[in-house]
């Protein structure tokens, strides 16, 4: 995996995936208005610096596997089909964010097996590491798919006529659909108003204060005390 400052080779996308999104947003809005595109998910994730996060928008498709023969065992298997997205953000000291993105899209291509009940799954996956500014969007594309679907059209009532109904009033065909999955991610840094060091120190001070009050006869020795000055805490009356 290499860090992306990805140059567009087709001339369609901007020079950098993470910049100049005005044209992309306009094109996407135009496609949505003309029913040429569909928003599959619009989700938000919150995670800690350096910790992974993921989104799963999947359908669980159960199917039965049989060992065959008399008294054969029957097992129920499950296949997850849909969209999975793994994100690993890292905030750098210069304020930039390095994001590792691993999307995966799976669809049922066809059903196979003696009973045509076992799903054959087609998966599209990629892995990218991108460095962007805080609040800057990332576009990941190229997850192409070419799906074929068999269709059957029967003329109402007339397709039931013997002999000629199946030949004249029934038509079959194959619809081919090409799709390109585009993922847009906008990482943002959420700054905590209270740093973790200050929190840990206050918690340690308060724990020491509670122990000293409950066990005054004990002389708690600490080779590396949190604070040499006894903390002052206000007590609320009952």
110 and 213 within one domain: no
135 and 207 within one domain: no
CB burial string 130-151: b at 16+ within 10 A, e below? bbbeeebbbbbeebeeeeeeee
Is residue 155 assigned to a domain? no
How many domains, the chain?
A: 2
213 and 110 within one domain: no
pTM above 0.75, yes or no: no
Is residue 227 assigned to a domain? yes
* Region for 26 from its dihedrals, namely left if φ exceeds 0, alpha if ψ lies in -120 to 50, beta otherwise: alpha
**pLDDT on residue 228:** 46
Residue the block writes with tokens 């950098």: 16
Is residue 11 assigned to a domain? yes
Residue the block writes with tokens 């969209």: 83
46/201 Cα distance (integer angstroms): 25
Is residue 229 assigned to a domain? yes
123 and 219 within one domain: no
138 and 201 within one domain: no
118 and 215 within one domain: no
Residues in CB range of 177: below 8 A, 6 or more apart: 146, 147, 148, 149
Is residue 167 assigned to a domain? no
Is residue 75 assigned to a domain? yes
Q: What domain range is 47 assigned to?
A: 3-142+180-185
131/16 Cα distance (integer angstroms): 11
Is residue 164 assigned to a domain? no
124 and 220 within one domain: no
SS3 state at 190: coil
Is residue 152 assigned to a domain? no
Per-residue pLDDT of the chain (238 residues; tens, 9 = 90+): 333 333 333 343 433 444 445 677 778 788 888 888 888 777 888 888 889 999 888 888 888 877 665 566 778 888 888 888 899 999 988 889 999 999 888 888 777 877 777 888 888 888 889 898 988 888 888 777 776 666 777 778 777 777 777 777 777 777 777 777 888 888 988 876 655 445 556 666 766 776 677 666 555 454 444 444 444 545 555 4
107 and 35 within one domain: yes
């Amino acid at each position: 995996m290499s860090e992306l400052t990805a140059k567009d080779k087709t001339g369609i996308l901007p020079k950098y995936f993470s910049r100049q999104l005005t044209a992309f947003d306009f094109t996407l809005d135009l496609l949505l208005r003309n029913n040429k595109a569909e928003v599959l998910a619009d989700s938000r994730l919150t995670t800690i610096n350096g910790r992974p996060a993921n989104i799963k928008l999947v359908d669980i498709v159960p199917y039965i596997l049989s060992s065959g023969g008399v008294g054969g065992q029957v097992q129920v298997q499950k296949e997850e089909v849909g969209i999975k997205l793994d994100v690993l953000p890292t905030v750098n000291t210069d304020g930039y964010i390095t994001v590792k993105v691993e999307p995966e899209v799976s669809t049922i291509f066809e059903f196979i097996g003696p009973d045509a009940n076992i799903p054959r799954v087609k998966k599209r996956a990629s892995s990218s590491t991108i460095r962007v500014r805080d609040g800057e969007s990332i576009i990941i594309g190229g997850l192409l798919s070419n799906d074929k679907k068999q269709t059957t059209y029967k003329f109402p009532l007339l397709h039931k006529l013997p002999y000629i109904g199946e030949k004249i009033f029934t038509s079959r065909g194959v619809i081919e659909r090409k799709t390109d999955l585009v993922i847009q991610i906008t990482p943002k840094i959420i700054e905590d108003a209270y740093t973790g060091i200050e929190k840990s120190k206050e918690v340690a001070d308060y724990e020491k204060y509670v122990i000293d009050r409950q066990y005054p006869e004990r002389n708690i020795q600490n080779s590396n005390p949190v604070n040499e000055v006894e903390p002052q805490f206000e007590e609320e009356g009952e």
